[in-house]
């Protein structure tokens, strides 16, 4: 488990921290001496993670319930966090979900839900930490996007649209906050071994087709935590998939033509 000495006694807030990448990131921040605030819908799971962190690492860890699909709740939660901690040094916007379906089959409720959590919730969480980070002339906002934000594929039209939105927002935000000494980083992982696919692809076909190419949350968390409080623009994983995204940016017609069969393996 990698440690980052810059996090000692800092306050790190992580959304979607009840499992998967958020949970693994929390463990590594705690191992580095950071105090944590964990946010998710499932308070019972959060309390279990927080109890483990306090017991193993001896740092402060505050679990708080938050549903990003309810944007009106976000400001009050963040005001409470700032009141209790004195300030947020790192915000990790990790929460998100996807549904894999052809565009004609995606329900309006799923469209609304994915944009509410993946985009609107992320933006409002970020908005709540910007003023204090600007005043302090320090801080780090980390937005977990996806390789789907760079290379859209069939059966992920709405999910890819949300991640394209996250990258657009992140790139603009980075330029806005650079003059204030606040770092902004995009994390763009490919498919990870989490419960994401239980909802995105209940058939299990996509994970089965990926096989050994699927990423571990531990590896992604290691790289994310190592980059905290440094001026890192992006982290793209795995390398071979990011190469495909770059190739697509240069030769989109070629990639769409020859990658069609692989893209439909969802």
Q: Show pLDDT as tens, one digit a residue, over the chain (266 residues).
A: 878 999 999 999 999 999 999 999 999 999 999 999 999 999 999 999 999 999 999 999 999 999 999 999 999 999 999 999 999 999 999 999 999 889 999 999 999 999 999 999 999 999 999 999 999 999 999 999 999 999 888 899 999 999 999 999 999 999 999 999 999 999 999 887 656 544 544 555 544 544 456 889 999 999 999 999 999 999 999 876 777 677 767 766 766 665 655 555 55
- Could you give the domains of the chain? 5-263 (3.40.50.720)
Record the tokens describing residue 174, joined without a space.
């980075």
Residue 197: predicted pLDDT: 46
3-state secondary structure the chain: CCCCHHHCCCEEEEECCCCHHHHHHHHHHHHCCCEEEEEECCHHHHHHHHHHHHHHHCCCEEEEECCCCCHHHHHHHHHHHHHHHCCCCEEEECCCCCCCCCHHHCCHHHHHHHHHHHHHHHHHHHHHHHHHHHHHCCCEEEEECCHHHCCCCCCCHHHHHHHHHHHHHHHHHHHHHHHHCCEEEEEEECCECCCHHHHHCCCCHHHHHHHHHCECHHHHHHHHHHHCCCCCCEEEECHHHHHHHHHHHHCHHHHHHHCHHHHCCC
Residue 154: predicted pLDDT: 87
Residue 47: predicted pLDDT: 98
Question: Active site residue: 97, 159, 169, 248, which one?
Answer: 159
Residue 213: predicted pLDDT: 61
Distance CA 72, CA 93 (A): 17
In the residue annotation, 159 being an active-site residue is answered as yes
Residue 207: predicted pLDDT: 47
Distance CA 214, CA 220 (A): 11
């Amino acid at each position: 488990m990698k440690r980052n000495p810059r996090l000692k006694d800092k306050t790190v807030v992580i959304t979607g921290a009840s499992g998967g990448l958020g949970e693994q990131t929390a463990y590594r921040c705690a191992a580095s001496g950071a105090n944590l605030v964990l946010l998710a819908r499932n308070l019972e799971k959060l309390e279990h993670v927080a109890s483990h962190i306090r017991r193993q690492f001896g740092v402060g860890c505050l679990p708080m319930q938050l549903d990003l699909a309810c944007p009106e709740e976000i400001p009050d939660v963040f005001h409470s966090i700032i009141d209790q901690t004195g300030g947020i040094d790192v915000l990790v916007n990790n929460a998100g979900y996807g549904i894999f379906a052809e565009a004609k089959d995606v329900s309006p409720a799923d469209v609304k839900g994915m944009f509410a959590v993946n985009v609107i919730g992320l933006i409002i969480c970020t908005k709540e930490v910007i003023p204090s980070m600007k005043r302090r002339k320090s801080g780090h906002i980390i937005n977990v996007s996806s390789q789907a934000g760079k290379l859209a594929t069939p059966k992920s039209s709405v999910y890819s649209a949300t991640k394209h939105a996250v990258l657009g927002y992140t790139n603009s935000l980075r330029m806005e906050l650079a003059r204030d000494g606040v770092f902004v980083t995009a994390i763009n992982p490919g498919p990870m071994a989490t419960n994401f696919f239980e909802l995105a692809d209940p058939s299990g076909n996509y994970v089965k087709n990926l096989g050994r190419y699927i990423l571990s949350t531990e590896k992604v968390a290691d790289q994310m935590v190592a980059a905290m409080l440094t001026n890192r623009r992006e982290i793209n994983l795995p390398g071979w998939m990011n190469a495909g995204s770059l190739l697509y940016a240069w030769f989109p017609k070629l990639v769409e033509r020859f990658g069609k069969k692989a893209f439909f393996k969802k």
